[in-house]
Homo-oligomer: A and B are copies of this chain.
Amino acid sequence: MKSRAPRDRSFHKATIYDVARHARVSVFTVSAVVNNNSHVSHTLRRRVENAVQKLNYRPNLLARGLVKRQTHTIGIVVRDIVNPFYPLLVRGIEDAAHKSGYSVLLCNSDDQRDKEEQYLELLLSKRVDGILLNKAPGALSSSLRQQLAEAKVPVVSLMRISRDLQGDAVVTDDAKGAFDAVSHLVRIGHRRVALVSGPLSVSNAKARWNGFCKALERAGIERERELMVEGDYHIDSGYRAGLSLLPLRPDAVFLANYLMTVGFMKAADEIGLRCPEDFGLASFDDYPWLSCFRPRLTTVELPKYEIGSAAVRILLERISGKRSRRALIKLTPELHVRESCGFMLRRSDAQDDYLSPREKTYPASGATAFQGVSQV
């Protein structure tokens, strides 16, 4: 019998051997009790449970992961958690993951390919069971693609799709969102509508650009190329866009995300133009605080929480082998009309938020509230 050296481990966390010895049973029995699989007689079970309690035993999940080849951990790579778009998305992920016994390793790629690859390799080394990826522009290195395939670590794309990542994806109908917003701008009388888009190398920026074009086309408005500028989703590019666009005095502007809107508003401030009196504005991404500061923004809201939870659902199906067909989930955005578009100027009897009464409820930011916020 090659029994483990029972050396002094009074200063170490208890192991399954310690428990076994304490309960005068074998490690098998302890394992069976802890994992609740094999049948264990009542007496032994009690002995084990007592020992577990007394020794404060907690199984070492590293060791378990090593033998079971799964860690119950998923990796999530987003551009930057500080971008207000991501927190709710990440929360949707974490909630869904936690509910299924998974933990979340958070990585910020800053939209840089090398950082992204570095993180992906790290996640692979840490043997995560799956990855949620908000891909940076550019293709994944073939070596990495191969490693992902060999290791059989499923990847679900978030918000963005790219040709080199042919797996599952959860996206939003960005073309429709942009189309709705711009159509609304046109409907209430704006003709010369400007666009500040995201980087066109990113699929959703492209889609929003297309939605913009389609809305103008549908309205029979010829688009003016100098009113369309490509930003990069950051504050500063919105600011620069504002400085270059506003002197052209468009009737309205559509911005592809919130951060650029912040920059754009700053530029308007400096130039001395006011929204919605001097120009109408609609943008992507809604936030709880948008309806109580002026101008109240007309926005296209994406179901961020849902995106996260849907992605986890797909990922776990993939991990458990329950899914074989490719999943491509496209969630529907929702237009929230407020006053920045200029709507209120034309219909003074209109109610705030007439399209989205839900906005009025002001849920707290607790978990239960999210469900209300983000259900589509």
Q: Of all chain B residues, which has the CB nearest A305?
A: B82
Tell me if A192 counts as interface (CB < 8 A to partner B): no
Q: Of all chain B residues, which has the CB nearest A88?
A: B82
| Interface of chain A residues 191 through 225 with chain B (CB within 8 A) | none
Q: Which of B98, B235, B370 contacts A364 (CB 8 A)?
A: B235
What band does the interface of chain A fall in when counting residues whose beta carbon is under 8 Å from B? 35 or more
Least CB distance from A67 to B in Å reads 10
Contact present for A94 and B81 (CB under 8 Å): yes
Query: What separation, in Å, do the CA atoms of A239 and B360 have in the docked complex?
Result: 11
Contact present for A294 and B291 (CB under 8 Å): no
Q: Of all chain B residues, which has the CB nearest A360?
A: B266
Tell me if A263 counts as interface (CB < 8 A to partner B): yes
| Interface of chain A residues 82 through 110 with chain B (CB within 8 A) | 82-84, 86-88, 90-91, 94-95, 98, 103-108, 110
| Interface of chain A residues 274 through 325 with chain B (CB within 8 A) | 288-289, 291-295
Of A23-31, A53-61, A246-254, the one contacting chain B is A53-61
Provide the residues of chain B in CB contact with A61, threshold 8 Å.
125-127
Tell me if A348 counts as interface (CB < 8 A to partner B): no
Tell me if A167 counts as interface (CB < 8 A to partner B): no
Least CB distance from A284 to B in Å reads 14
Of A44-52, A142-150, A176-184, A327-335, the one contacting chain B is A142-150
Query: What separation, in Å, do the CA atoms of A124 and B234 have in the docked complex?
Result: 38
Q: Take A62-B126, A82-B87 as given contacts and tell me if A292 and B262 are in contact as well, using a CB distance cutoff of 8 Å.
A: yes
Contact present for A56 and B365 (CB under 8 Å): no
Provide the residues of chain B in CB contact with A258, threshold 8 Å.
289
Least CB distance from A172 to B in Å reads 18
Contact present for B291 and A293 (CB under 8 Å): no
Provide the residues of chain B in CB contact with A81, threshold 8 Å.
81, 87, 90-91, 94
Query: What separation, in Å, do the CA atoms of A104 and B367 have in the docked complex?
Result: 21
Q: Take A82-B365, A103-B126, A125-B59 as given contacts and tell me if A295 and B292 are in contact as well, using a CB distance cutoff of 8 Å.
A: no
Contact present for A294 and B294 (CB under 8 Å): yes
Contact present for A66 and B58 (CB under 8 Å): no
Contact present for B236 and A364 (CB under 8 Å): yes
Provide the residues of chain B in CB contact with A60, threshold 8 Å.
66, 125, 127
Query: What separation, in Å, do the CA atoms of A86 and B351 have in the docked complex?
Result: 34
Q: Of all chain B residues, which has the CB nearest A153?
A: B13
Q: Of all chain B residues, which has the CB nearest A126?
A: B61
The residue in A95, A151, A292 that gathers the most chain B C-beta atoms within 10 A of its C-beta is A292
Query: Which 8 A-B residue pairs are closest in the complex by CB-CB distance?
Result: A293-B293, A234-B364, A265-B292, A294-B294, A262-B289, A106-B106, A266-B292, A61-B125
What are 6 A-B interface contacts by the 8 Å CB criterion? A60-B125, A82-B88, A94-B108, A234-B365, A259-B365, A293-B293
